[in-house]
Amino acid sequence: MEIDKTKCVGCGNCHPVCPMEAISLDTDGKSIVNQDKCVECSTCYRLLRNEGYPPILVRIVRGILSFFSLQHMAPPDVCPTGALTPPELEYPRSLRAAFSDPTVVHAGTGVGGRGTEEIKTNDITGRLRTGDAGIVIELGRPGTGAYFRDVEKVAMALSPLEPHFEEFNPVTQLMTDSKTGKIRDEVLDEKVLSAIIEVKTKLERIPEYLQTLEDIQTELDTVFSVGVASKCLSDGSVPHQQWVEKAGYKLSLNGKTNLGLGRPLFKEETA
Ligand code: SF4
Ligand code: SF4
């Protein structure tokens, strides 16, 4: 995001809406975006209405009020002069918007947001079959974000376990080699709100994956959360539970369960 300094009146309304704390007041009394911190999520631009007042008029009014030690409190959801300006993003910076702006659809997957449906459509796709485990690692959070160099560290740390990186995932599509988890050099310094690595493996290998993630966590300059998924058994139990517990973890109660209401596009082989 950019701020047109010829328009900005330094009201500060855009500062608190930025999830990355990337906007601050510059020495000239106008606001400025820290381009390294900004993940191009466009939250500031979408949330603040452009009131469209001429900057000169707003400055004069603010100046007069300030002379009398008065202040006009503009509604908090406006940019009075429309100074926030979304730039034309070129690759690789455009990846920031692709991963951080929920209104942008990923070119490679056709899915908005983080660009993947994760396991939510497994009833239809059958990506995980009986005996399979899906592991998702989401790096970054609002306020923290994640650089692709950290995403790469995690992917490469997992590679000795010979994971199957999900092809229909935007992080996998940035890999130069899905066997090693290496990500294209030119994107490593790009920062996004969050990015998800998706792996398919076998249930019994879950403890090795969780151990590897524990080992790598101190080398990262961000936070991550881990999700584990598998296909429910006919009695409704989740087969990955015992493997997660074997690794020393308890399953969180905020799990998501597909109810099998979708029309499957696959047929599971029976032994
Ligand atoms: S809301 Fe608009 S005018 Fe106010 S500080 Fe932000 S960019 Fe400047
Ligand atoms: S685009 Fe997002 S990260 Fe960048 S300044 Fe606006 S709210 Fe902050």
Q: Which of 85, 116, 145 is the last residue of a domain?
A: 85
CATH code of 33's domain: 3.30.70.20
Q: Does 154 fall in a domain?
A: yes
Cα-based torsion angle of the residue sequence 217, 218, 221, 225 in order, rounded to the nearest 10 degrees: 20
Give distance in angstroms: CA of 97 to centre of ligand 2. 10
pLDDT of residue 118: 67
Same domain for 148 and 183: yes
Q: Does 263 fall in a domain?
A: no
Q: Is 11 in the pocket of ligand 2 (CB under 6 A)?
A: no
Cα-based torsion angle of the residue sequence 251, 255, 259, 265 in order, rounded to the nearest 10 degrees: -90
Q: Does 257 fall in a domain?
A: no
Same domain for 126 and 28: no
Give distance in angstroms: CA of 41 to centre of ligand 1. 17
Q: Is 78 in the pocket of ligand 1 (CB under 6 A)?
A: no
- Give residue-wise pLDDT tens across range 242-256: 999 999 998 876 677
Same domain for 135 and 43: no
Please name the residue ranges forming H helices in 52-176: 55-67, 94-100, 122-125, 148-158
Number of domains making up the chain: 2
pLDDT of residue 14: 97
Give dist(CA 64, CA 76) in Å, integer. Answer: 21
pLDDT of residue 216: 96
Atom number in ligand 1 closest to CA 15: 6
Q: Does 71 fall in a domain?
A: yes
Segments in the chain below pLDDT 50: none
pTM across the whole model: 0.89
Query: In which domain, by residue range, is 22 found?
Result: 2-85
Q: Which of 57, 85, 113 is the last residue of a domain?
A: 85
Q: 121-159: buried (b, 16+ CB within 10 Å) or exposed (e) per residue?
A: ebbeeebbeeebbbbbbbbbeeebbbbbbbbbbbbbbbb
CATH code of 115's domain: 3.30.70.260
Same domain for 186 and 106: yes
- Give residue-wise pLDDT tens across range 14-69: 999 999 999 999 999 999 999 999 999 999 999 999 988 888 888 888 888 888 88
Same domain for 12 and 73: yes
202 forms bridges with which residues in the sheet?
132
Nearest CA to ligand 2 atom 8: 18
pLDDT of residue 253: 65
Same domain for 210 and 127: yes
Burial of 80: CB neighbours in 10 Å, binned 0-12, 13-18, 19+: buried
Q: Does 265 fall in a domain?
A: no
